[in-house]
Chains A and B, each alone.
Chain A
Amino acid sequence: MLEIKNLHAGTGGAEILHGINLEISAGEVHAIMGPNGSGKSTLSQVLAGNDTYQVTSGTVTYKGADLLELSPELRAREGLFLSFQYPVAIPGVNNIYLLQAALNAIRKHRGEEPLDAIDFLELVRGRIKEVDLDEEFLHRPVNDGFSGGEKKRNEILQMLVLEPQLAILDETDSGLDIDALKLIAEGVNRYRSSERAILLITHYQRLLNYISPDKVHVLLDGRIVKSGGPELAVELEEKGYGWIQEELAEKAL
């Protein structure tokens, strides 16, 4: 579904990603772990199409097409979704207007009729229960005055409504208490299917206690330096990132 080859990208002339290689197939859940500043969020923003970042070389193929050629809205309509680490507050725009505009833009792209207000509300009412939010939440301005946990749940609510094929969850676990974390993990687990892929980007292993990934990658200084199974995440939790840096230093000698 997603194939990243030798991706170099950065911002303001400074390169942050120094050649990323990653392949994710439908049905898989991958986790990218790394310390702060390793380039995790840059990777997610580049994949979503944030033009603050420039790709200097490499390719990204998504469902057989060149992802980097697509505008952010076309990427979204083609089923790519980014759950933001820090979603922006938009005062004055009600959450429900955003959701409806987004869903209908995506449906139109698929050649489907827009949902009328009644069907739309029915769909959203079903999904909002899964993230344990009150319906009143839909009528609040997008992310404006939301707590950290509410922002993350709102991102997951959007994912559940928009039903993307590739969901990138950027630090969705940060700032969540254990109950909220379990709730979001359950939502993501229900979301898993053989047609969908999920890329979890996280600093800590704790989310992976509840969402078992097929593959774990370690991102250090803009490179994927180690890949493995779920056991790699456990090892990172126990030993931190230092041992990998040492291992790399030894190899370099």
Chain B
Amino acid sequence: MSSSVEISPAPPVPQWAAQPDAASFDGQTEAWANLRRKGYAAFSRHGFPTTRMEAWRNTSLAHLIDIDFQLAGGDHNITQAQLKPYLLPDGPVAVLVDGIFSPELSATGGLPAGMTLSSLASALQAGDTSALAQLDDEQALDEYPFSALNLAHLRDGVWLNLQPGTQFEGVAQILVISTGSRPTVSFPRLLITVGENTQLTVLERYIHLGESPSLTIPETDILCQQSAVVEHLRLHDENGAGDHIGSVRAVLRRDSHLRSIDISTGRRLIRNDIQGRLAEAGAALEMSGLYLVDGSGHVDNHTRLDHIAPHTTSAQNYKGILTDTARGVFTGRVVVHPEAQKTVARQTNRNLMLSDKARVHTDPQLEIFANDVKCNHGSTVGQIDRDALFYFSTRGIDEETARRLLIHGFTHEVVATLRNAALRDCAESAIDGWLETAGLA
């Protein structure tokens, strides 16, 4: 008698996720090249994600496999004027074009002493071991295939660094552009390191210029030392042609505070793999997001927060508005480690469905290994409140205006947590812009 074990064939790896070619290592230091090889080895262990993997159960990448995305070279003919609509009236800005730092489009002068906003490749080229060390993260490589793939293709990016004691009152902007007269893939890397007793506000914004489809696979690392205070807004202005599979990794040291808000809008694929590590006592993390999805768009927020040290606090508030045949996914995992007594962790996910063909999957996961903690989570899926619509109508307000007020009201809770007024305005105009394109304004 013989028994047979069914072995599924390894799923195909698209050509754009194949091993980086040898030429791409030219001019890179040995340590840099080794880190990239480590990244690709980790990606190979994962394989290309399919819906058979638990973390990708509700998000299919099948439509991306056969697109002939080419690695873009960073050459471009973009002008300052083209970028104006996406920039704040003043403040420093670092511009990445298809993942490559563009000195001519960036404006990084006039920064306070102790603050740098510059090309990541320059630092790596110069053999800066601290930058290299920050990029090397075992847990990220073990859990996130696209974090590993991003590392494998590490060519350039932005490094925003604050020396201890540096307070920056303005808004540091990082504009990540994808271009293309042909389908392009890019792997931007954003490294944000803030020393002890620093304060920073960052706007990270993705835009797509060009007619061809693009795929952006970025990673943003935010590493907060003791008592750092950081506010971070991540906006996706890529139009319908730009798919996005991004990672955010935040590590918080003692008494540091990070508020990070993602606003994912549109009618395409956005996957956000968000990881937060509360590594030392007193760390506080607010991770929130809005996903406003129309057409056949698909937005997946996949969060994992680790409470490693005692007396740490996290709050997650993810809110979605879905219309047409849009899909939303929220998976929120909170792990409270055995040492992390007095943890406070709160998580909510609320969804407003504007169409009966839209769908949302919501999956909160709490894993608690400490006994003295306060953790709660809740998720809801609902429609526009008919009683509220009637109430507005009895005050003379037409249905369209009432809906707009209610939709703004739904998103307001997240936007209002931003302390910086310029970021709040950016968030509001992103929401208005989406309402307009989705035909809801």
A178 within 8 A of B: no
Interface presence of B387 (CB below 8 A): yes
CB <8 Å contact, B395 and A158: yes
Q: Could you write out 7 A-B pairs with CB less than 8 Å apart?
A: A72-B393, A73-B397, A81-B394, A88-B387, A98-B405, A101-B395, A102-B395
Beyond the given pairs A49-B394, A88-B385, A101-B397, 15 more chain A to chain B contacts, judged by CB atoms under 8 angstroms and listed by A's residue number, are: A49-B393, A71-B393, A72-B390, A73-B393, A73-B396, A73-B399, A84-B391, A88-B387, A90-B409, A92-B406, A101-B395, A102-B395, A102-B397, A105-B396, A105-B401
Distance in angstroms from B24 CB to nearest chain A CB is 48
- CB-CB under 8 A from A91, the residues of chain B are 409, 413
With a cutoff of 8 Å between Cβ atoms, the chain A residues found around residue B408 in the complex are: 92-93
If A84-B391, A88-B385 touch, does A162 touch B406 (CB 8 Å cutoff)?
A: no
Q: Across the interface, which residues of B come within 8 angstroms of A229, CB to CB?
A: none
* Among candidates A71, A92, A101, residue contacting B401 with C-beta atoms closer than 8 Å: A101
The answer for the CA separation of A141 and B401 in the assembled complex, in Å, is: 17
User: Is B410 within 8 A of A92, CB to CB?
Assistant: yes
- Give per-residue flags for B388-419: 1 if the beta carbon is below 8 A from chain A beta carbons, else 0: 10111111111101000110111111000000
In the bound complex, residues from chain A placing their C-beta under 8 Å from that of B387 are: 88
Q: How far is the CB of A127 from chain B (nearest CB, A)?
A: 15
CA distance A88 to B388 in the complex (A): 6
Interface residues of A (CB under 8 A from B): 48-51, 71-73, 75-77, 81-82, 84, 87-88, 90-93, 97-98, 101-102, 105-106, 109, 141, 158, 162
Q: How many A-B residue pairs have CB under 8 A?
A: 74
Q: What is the number of residues of chain B that contact chain A, defined by CB distance less than 8 Å?
A: 22
Known A88-B385, A101-B401; judge A93-B409 contact (CB<8 A). yes
A92 touches B396 (CB 8 A): no
Kindly list chain A residues whose C-beta atoms are within 8 Å of the C-beta of B411. Answer: 92
- The answer, among B388, B394, B406, B410, for a CB contact under 8 Å with A82, is B394
Shortest 5 CB-CB contacts between residues of A and residues of B: A92-B409, A76-B396, A102-B395, A93-B409, A72-B393
Let me know if A48 and B394 touch, CB within 8 A: yes
What residue in chain B is nearest A108 (Cβ atoms)? B396
CA distance A97 to B399 in the complex (A): 15
A97: chain B residues within 8 A (beta carbon)? 405
Complex Cα distance A148/B406, Å?
23
Chain B: minimal CB distance from A115 (Å): 14
* A107 to B318 CA separation, bound complex (whole angstroms): 38
Q: Are A90 and B395 CB-contacts (below 8 A) given A97-B405, A98-B405, A101-B401? A: no
CA distance A77 to B408 in the complex (A): 24
Nearest residue (CB) in A for B391 is A88
For B388, what are the chain A residues with a Cβ–Cβ distance below 8 Å? 88, 90
Bound: A140/B243 CA distance, A: 38
Q: Known contacts A72-B390, A88-B391, A101-B405: does B410 contact A109 (CB below 8 Å)? A: no
